[in-house]
Structure 1
Amino acid sequence: MNSPVEERLRAALAEAGASIDPDTLRPLPAPARRRTWMDARLLVVGAAVTAGVAATAVGLTLGPGDDQIAVAEPARIEPGKADMTVIMCSTSALVVKEPRCGGRDATAQEVSAAERAVRGLPQVEAAYTVDQQHAYDDFRVDFALNRPMLDAVKVADLPVSIRLTVKKGADRREVEKSLRALPGIGGVADNTATEAALESRSEMRVNVFLCGKGSSLPSCGAERKPDESMVVKEGKAATSAQKNALTRLIDGMPEVQSHTFEDQQAAYDNFRREFASNKALLNATKVSDMPESFRVLLKQGSDWATPVATLRRQPGVASVFYVPCQQDSMLALSRYGVRPPEDKVCSPGS
């Protein structure tokens, strides 16, 4: 059973163009159930602990109204070296609101209990609790080149978290399952797929996901009840004529350097190669889960906002994403548990 955090990360990954499907940190903007082509696919990563131990006491800054507590600080785990991240409950507007949190911040006692529980699991090799200030310091390093992201996220927006590494061959699903019901924990993110999808953040890539059969997206013709709780009319898949028209349109765009078309089988094959080590994810994903898409590479330094806006208006298009923006959003979600407003993070120049 996938965790809420993992499913949401899948969604974010699909949008970013990594042909995959998950449920952990809520996906980027999309309708209710988020079964969009960018709606779910995954985010996850490696392991390692930086040197320098020394059990020193540090103040753990929690949400408003909570006292600071002293926690023993083990060897620091860098954000990109954590296999998994436990996101504690937070009332921050940028953190996905999980029903289990009851609309409140995790207490100091809950953070301490969660830390003990994590370190006590036989699958866990090392764990490191990260307060808001330390998380923000790391955040500023990760997004040093993304000014809109830095402007959109403040210290108080970041939740307290626990980074952990797992032993080789350990079942991460069992780790997530063991922690899921603990008080104060909003979600657990497996970082392996996430990091694998963030390797070429400097390339100006655009992913154009096409409508599929039974789509729940309004852009594909789907209709929902007024409260968006249920799809009353499913959308239609992109037609051959629409795909041909998109090919001609992309060919004529002056900003485009090159592009390729990826059908469902090709997307699935690429997915299996990329995540060959994640058997649980592979077993849960089928060819029919994969979206067809155009993968577009823009000329370095060109305007990306215009082609993205144009492609989003075309018939047969489910969603269009400027990959560097989506990758940064995914990184913020998986490593730090926050989802900054897309219109701020992905504005021109970001």
Structure 2
Amino acid sequence: MNSPVEERLRAALTEAGASIDPDTLRPLPAPARRRTWMDARLLVVGAAVTAGVAATAVGLTLGPGDEQIAVAEPARIEPGEADMTVIMCSTSALVVKEPRCGGRDATAEEVSAAERAVRGLSQVAAAYTVDQQHAYDDFRADFALNGSMLDAVKVTDLPVSIRLTLKKGADRREVEKSLQPLPGIWGVTDNAPVEAVLKSRSEMLVNVFLCGKGSSLPSCGAERKPDGSMVVREGKAATRAQVIALGKLIGDLPEVQSVTFEDQQAAYDNFKREFASNQALLKATKVSDMPESFRVVLKLGSDWATPVATLRRQPGVASAFYVPCQKDGMLALSRYGVRPPEDKVCSPGS
């Protein structure tokens, strides 16, 4: 069963199949599992300074000769430039709970070990460790125009991460498989699918995703342990009666210009067409992974908050997203490993 994070990202990628111009997409890898971060200092790699690498040298005293050697700080990797992100375990309330983290932050030793493991992979071109303050600075730059997001996220909410770039032809799934089991790692994010969605064109589109069999979402009736670590009761799929009633309700909303229903097979066929160049992603995705949905185009200039709020309350609805806002939520999850409350990701009037 998919985790809530996986369900949300997979749903977003499904939406992408209907709204992205294929010409803007680069080959996409398989979706990531989860993510991670923590409270630790920026770690400095003890590597020799070489020509062509931007680095800051610091003096270290070693050995009986009291000689000074230069240690290079790794070159910075900007958030949008990272091919993948390793997110360390965190107790932040904005990070989805991961049982393997044991309800604790990653230790400094685990962060250091993860960094060494990343740099030891032959398929990794470069890596850059991001502490909480640097992550917060980047977060505020990314969401400078979204005041509600800035108000919702504090520096202590952000986990420590390792951004990495890959060599040409690198196998992303192999990189993920090598790093995911390491202690202190919450998850490894493959950024390519989300970055492609972020670069796609936006329109006044609302996605209404229906509950599927075995859903882990509370909106579908699922229940989890108090710590959020495990589903104790699975949710139920939307009934045909609920789907019919929802379609009629959507059609009657004054803000709606047009509505299209997409079943699992149609969603999968659309997904295959748009992501035909990424065989790894297609192999990892089945028809049964696709949520049924309504794609609702709003009238130009109309209010989006009222119909979204109405649709989220309907029986059989797993989630409803205004697409331009959904992109901010995806960006926060992919680049920073946090999931702010939906009403903070995109509050009315933002």
State the TM-score, normalized to the length of structure 1.
Answer: 0.75
Go from structure 1 to structure 2 and tell me whether the alpha carbon gap of 1:210 and 1:98 turns closer, same or farther (over 3 Å shift).
Answer: closer
The corresponding residue for 2:19 is none
Go from structure 1 to structure 2 and tell me whether the alpha carbon gap of 1:55 and 1:8 turns closer, same or farther (over 3 Å shift).
Answer: farther
Go from structure 1 to structure 2 and tell me whether the alpha carbon gap of 1:338 and 1:317 turns closer, same or farther (over 3 Å shift).
Answer: closer
Q: Is 2:259–2:295's contact at 8 Å kept on the other side of the alignment?
A: yes
**Which deviations, in whole Å up to 9, do the C-alpha atoms of 1:204-238 show, x marking residues without a partner?**
32111234456566655x57699784337x63543
Go from structure 1 to structure 2 and tell me whether the alpha carbon gap of 1:268 and 1:183 turns closer, same or farther (over 3 Å shift).
Answer: same
The corresponding residue for 2:47 is none
Cα RMSD for the two superposed structures: 3.2
* Superposition pairs of residues 1-350 of structure 1, within 5 angstroms: 9-16=5-12, 18=14, 24-25=33-34, 53-56=53-56, 72-200=72-200, 202-212=202-212, 229-231=231-233, 235-239=236-240, 242-350=242-350
- Any gaps of 5 or more consecutive residues in structure 2? 17-29, 36-51, 59-69
The alpha-carbon deviation at position 245 of structure 1 amounts to: 3.8
The alpha-carbon deviation at position 81 of structure 1 amounts to: 1.7
Letter in 1 for 2:232: M
**Which deviations, in whole Å up to 9, do the C-alpha atoms of 1:168-212 show, x marking residues without a partner?**
222212212222233332221111211222234743321112344
**Which deviations, in whole Å up to 9, do the C-alpha atoms of 1:81-131 show, x marking residues without a partner?**
211101122232222333333333333333233222211101111111112
Q: Specify the SS of the correspondent of 2:106.
A: coil
Query: Separation in 2 of the partners of 1:75 and 1:12?
Result: 32
* Percent of aligned pairs sharing the same letter: 78
Query: Separation in 1 of the partners of 2:333 and 2:301?
Result: 27
Q: How many residues align?
A: 307
Larger Rg: 2
The alpha-carbon deviation at position 244 of structure 1 amounts to: 4.2
Go from structure 1 to structure 2 and tell me whether the alpha carbon gap of 1:18 and 1:204 turns closer, same or farther (over 3 Å shift).
Answer: same
- Any gaps of 5 or more consecutive residues in structure 1? 27-51, 59-69
Q: Specify the SS of the correspondent of 1:334.
A: helix
Query: Separation in 2 of the partners of 1:93 and 1:205?
Result: 30
Query: Separation in 1 of the partners of 2:178 and 2:206?
Result: 38
Letter in 1 for 2:251: D
